[in-house]
Chain A
């Protein structure tokens, strides 16, 4: 530490002189390099950067006047370590020691800023050179954070250079205490620690309290998990807080103050102490501030690791050397606080705003914000967000603006689910409500609280029940134990939540949680207990379905509650495939056993190995290291290469006959399962071949016909009767079926394309994607034009587009109304389409079609921009007025959605349909007790593997219903021969990417329906399977 003497500051002239000196010094230097010295950047390695810069400047012999200095955190933690070089406030990010040489040589040596190290937009590649231009900063309004990243926090002169301590000067020399309070009242400032109590009012109460000894306290015990606003402010601009406290002292008539700072903030403590020392040396803290005779002394009190000491009465008891257990109020601290004297306690950020308010006036401050919430608020943005860090915005800013424009949205293409505000006292705001403004009342209406400023973004992989459990665990741990509602109540709530997260939830648990929550909120002694139930209530309010899934289905859709499942991949699979088991068997080169494990739950492993959307990979934990496993491709490898035991016809042991309508994956799976249970099964299929969507929608280059035939033949070989070219509702009526069959399963799928609902759609040349693909697969395809437009972003759109290219179209363009990341189609399908030459236009939707000579000839579209989030976590497309444009087309394929047709229900009223789906209960039963339904016709358009699950469930339910009606005992599944699963994991996990998928070169795919994806060979498959981390641990050892 260089020796320095703080100049004495007695009047405005002294402040002016210091400001001038710093200004002159800054102007004299040719370059000023500020290296961030905040906790976060230091953790990322910034501590050595300053000296590296200095050494390098010396080593390169640069003669210019260059100053290298520490600066405080400017908030952009996501890209640290950070440095800012003036003139020009050039912003550098993610600096490593290796970058210093280049920066010194190029920027400082030759005035050539280094673009490589600047902030680049991830998608457009655009470079943002200056701090103010950064999207992260440009949308912020810096009031409390105005000095952060600009000044060296360990030099009081820098603070004064930024007009520091002028507010204090005005407060002491130009205003009476009464006036100070009025300015604060006029500003509308409300406590920033979470309570939101009007600051001016609080000071007024204390000022009018009787007593000569009063205290000013700063609550720097920022304990909310997810909050680091106060830490940053204390590290980066501690004088702003001190100045605010001294002004407060003057206002209420106090001469002593404490900053109660948590011990977990060592850098903040050190910077605060340095600031206090320098302010004391300057005379700004001491017996005679600014020569007015006003005296004030200030001490730091270090916390000792108790969250509850952030509660004001507990904090005061802690300073008094006691256990930090809150006490009831009244009396309020303003009247009787520390040592029973009148005390003002305010939060760090609250004090940080005071100097500005006194310098420029309360009315000026009140110009920003809303009616009930004035000024700005600092948020600590963290969780699943690109640009995490500190953000300061005017009150009234919509939340989704903070998430999208400043935060840069959710990474990895995930969908946003909710935002947690207010830490363990707060609640979550679900995706579709994120357009609410930052405002105390609006947020309370939504069931959360503003809180201290913690804003944690959660995506589709966050389990909301686990979030509630996490916060309750925190509150339980931190409960001081004094009052029964909190001490016992939070424990009971935690026990229930833990049971639910372990798969032991019971009916009635949700109601019990709600009832306990109400009691605790009413009866707890302090804010900790009173707000502890909030996260639970908030998540139940918006995510009750997740609680219900945990309790009833033992399902955690986010794949987080590991107490409920063996591995996240298996849990994500709709048919519960034992993924780690078959991967382990492939790794051990036991491919026949791997196939047996697959077949236990999947009658179509070869098909799924080619077309499954693999929800398992979305939860593969290997992704945290490098890339998820190629689970689907390994499934295909096993299914294609295993020796298949020949399928024997199964005996019919029961008298009941079951009819299944539709030979798609749902129907055929149900057929197989019922056949295994001894029923006679007849499947009716209106098309010439069985297979449903697999055969008549998915194109051959994705799924060869012989693969389908083999797996369906295996099912039929068990003795399932198949009657093709038979349409129920036309050739045979439902009511007639009911006479001959004991039960009927409707699995007719969703084979009708939605119309686009635009004029001109009825003209020749316009097709529905599903119908068109079916016609191709029936070899009855109409002639496709040369200039094809496909509307939509799902798998059908991609299938139609890639097929159109193969059928000879010259240009195929997909028009999608959202962005590429939002497309529901599988990412690899989108990539394959682009590789084959399909063009894609995003943020466009058609408004009308024009025709020429009775045939479609042109399409008019409107451009879209993305607005607020919908309940699915995607942003809504909003048309841009006047953005219409027209393209010429001769073929338009609509792939915007699919619906079921209910032709099979002709003349049958007993089966009810609702909102385009057959209505079924949790047992897949329709309103007719002899008819069940499942798959796309009851679920809405879904996937092959979901249809398999539907078929399996339906078969179980049909069998159970029949047995129950007969008074028979439940079905007992015959024991399978045990397959021993080896347990092998690497000693040391080394990062290596997924093995490349072999495929047909794009150039060879033109005009060909040959299968595009090829199978792994044996060595590659074993290598890829070895990447599995065996998240099931050794629980998977015995099958």
Chain B
């Protein structure tokens, strides 16, 4: 198919993962027909699959009657959408002003060292992926780290080990 080879090379899942296509189609059907529904559709689909590889984007495009390029354009524009799988727990280190002023950058580099991954990467056991997030709006509690749905506040480097361990991390 024209254009597909470039897109396929971008997403590098590697592992074969079974995708619940009927659930995906259900979400697409829920939103189709409504103008401007691409973003909520992609959000719903990403919640099912965990990320948006090329084949999923193609499905959405067909289902909503949109060009694939448009879907790809939106997926790559908004930081909440990812073409790479993410960890069971996403670690979001806030890089907002107040967190930065109170040591946020150091927390980020410490985590990279401990988990041996870079920004936006996943640990080998897929337990954690590390991301920076712009201002979680809890500036009063800087520096802030969000792991999964939990918000950790006034995080000190010395506490990182115990925080990670509470999510099942083994050094």
Interface set of A (CB-CB < 8 Å, partner B): 39-40, 42-44, 77-78, 80, 222-228, 231, 263-266, 301-307, 318-324, 339, 380, 382-384, 388-389, 420, 423, 454, 456, 458, 462, 467, 470-471, 474, 477-478, 480, 624-625, 988-991
Contacts and interface: CB of A to CB of B under 8 A. Distances in A.
Contacts of B149: 266
A263 B136 CA distance: 10
Interface string B137-171: 11111101000010111001110010000000000
A74 to B, nearest CB: 12
B133 A321 contact: no
Contact of B161 (A301, A380, A384, A988): A988
B138 A383 contact: no
Contacts of A266: 149
B48 interface: no
A10 B110 CA distance: 58
A417 B160 CA distance: 30
B151 A39 contact: yes
Most chain B CB within a 10 A radius of its CB, from A77, A318, A383, A989 = A383
Given A225-B95, A226-B135, 17 more contacts: A43-B151, A43-B153, A77-B141, A80-B140, A228-B139, A264-B137, A265-B137, A304-B78, A306-B77, A322-B70, A324-B77, A382-B142, A383-B97, A388-B98, A388-B140, A474-B95, A625-B158
B81 interface: yes
Given A77-B141, A382-B140, A321 B80 contact: no
Nearest to B152: A43
B9 to A, nearest CB: 22
Given A263-B80, A624-B157, A382 B137 contact: no
A321 B98 contact: no
Nearest to A991: B158
Most chain A CB within a 10 A radius of its CB, from B37, B79, B95, B134 = B134
A532 to B, nearest CB: 14
Most chain A CB within a 10 A radius of its CB, from B39, B96, B101, B142 = B101
Given A43-B153, A304-B39, A321-B74, A384 B101 contact: yes
Given A225-B95, A320-B36, A321-B35, A43 B138 contact: yes
B111 to A, nearest CB: 15
A40 B100 contact: no
B96 A462 contact: no
Contacts of A456: 97-98, 101, 139
Enumerate the 3 nearest inter-chain pairs by beta-carbon distance, A residue then B residue, closest first: A77-B140, A225-B96, A304-B78
29 contacts: A40-B140, A43-B138, A43-B153, A222-B137, A224-B135, A225-B98, A225-B100, A226-B96, A226-B98, A226-B135, A264-B135, A302-B43, A304-B42, A304-B78, A304-B79, A304-B80, A304-B81, A306-B79, A319-B36, A321-B37, A323-B74, A323-B77, A339-B36, A382-B140, A383-B102, A456-B97, A624-B103, A625-B157, A989-B157
Contact of A470 (B100, B144, B152): B100
A223 B36 contact: no
B140 A458 contact: no
B38 to A, nearest CB: 4
A471 B100 CA distance: 11
Nearest to B160: A989
Contacts of A306: 77-79
Contact of A321 (B38, B137, B140): B38
A65 to B, nearest CB: 34
Interface in B66-90: 70, 73-74, 77-81
Contacts of B139: 225-228, 380, 382-383, 388, 454, 456
Contacts of B137: 39, 222, 227-228, 231, 264-265
Nearest to A461: B101
Contacts of B100: 225, 470
B40 interface: yes
B35 A320 contact: yes
A140 to B, nearest CB: 16
Given A319-B36, A456-B101, A624-B156, A44 B141 contact: yes
Contact of B97 (A222, A225, A988): A225
A306 B73 CA distance: 13
B94 to A, nearest CB: 8
Interface residue tally on B, bucketed by range? 35 or more
B101 A225 contact: no
Contacts of B102: 383
Most chain A CB within a 10 A radius of its CB, from B39, B133, B140, B157 = B140
Nearest to A264: B136
A305 B101 contact: no
Contacts of A467: 97
B80 A305 contact: yes
Contacts of B156: 624-625
Contacts of A477: 134
Nearest to B99: A225
Nearest to A625: B158
A225 B78 contact: no
A389 B96 contact: no
Contacts of A40: 138, 140-141, 153
B39 A318 contact: yes
Contacts of A265: 137
Nearest to A471: B97
A939 to B, nearest CB: 30
Contacts of B161: 988
A148 to B, nearest CB: 14
Contacts of A305: 78-81
A477 B95 CA distance: 12
Contacts of B79: 304-306
Nearest to B109: A562
Most chain A CB within a 10 A radius of its CB, from B36, B135, B141, B142 = B135
A625 B151 CA distance: 20
A988 B160 CA distance: 11
A322 B39 CA distance: 8
Contacts of B134: 223, 225, 264, 307, 474, 477-478
Interface string B44-56: 0000000000000
Nearest to B73: A323
A304 B43 contact: yes
Nearest to B151: A43
Contacts of B38: 321-322
B141 to A, nearest CB: 6
A579 B151 CA distance: 36
Nearest to B150: A43
Most chain A CB within a 10 A radius of its CB, from B36, B97, B102 = B97
Contacts of B80: 263, 303-305
Nearest to A420: B97
A224 B136 CA distance: 10
Most chain A CB within a 10 A radius of its CB, from B40, B81, B157, B158 = B158
A52 to B, nearest CB: 19
A454 B97 contact: yes
Contacts of B77: 306, 323-324, 480
B21 to A, nearest CB: 22
Contacts of B101: 383-384, 456, 458, 462
Nearest to B42: A304
Most chain A CB within a 10 A radius of its CB, from B35, B38, B134, B137 = B137
Nearest to B94: A225
A223 B151 CA distance: 18
Contacts of B95: 225, 474
B157 to A, nearest CB: 7
B53 to A, nearest CB: 18
Interface in B12-71: 35-40, 42-43, 70
Most chain A CB within a 10 A radius of its CB, from B95, B96, B142 = B96
A326 to B, nearest CB: 13
A320 B152 CA distance: 35
B64 to A, nearest CB: 9
Interface in B86-142: 95-103, 133-142
B162 to A, nearest CB: 10
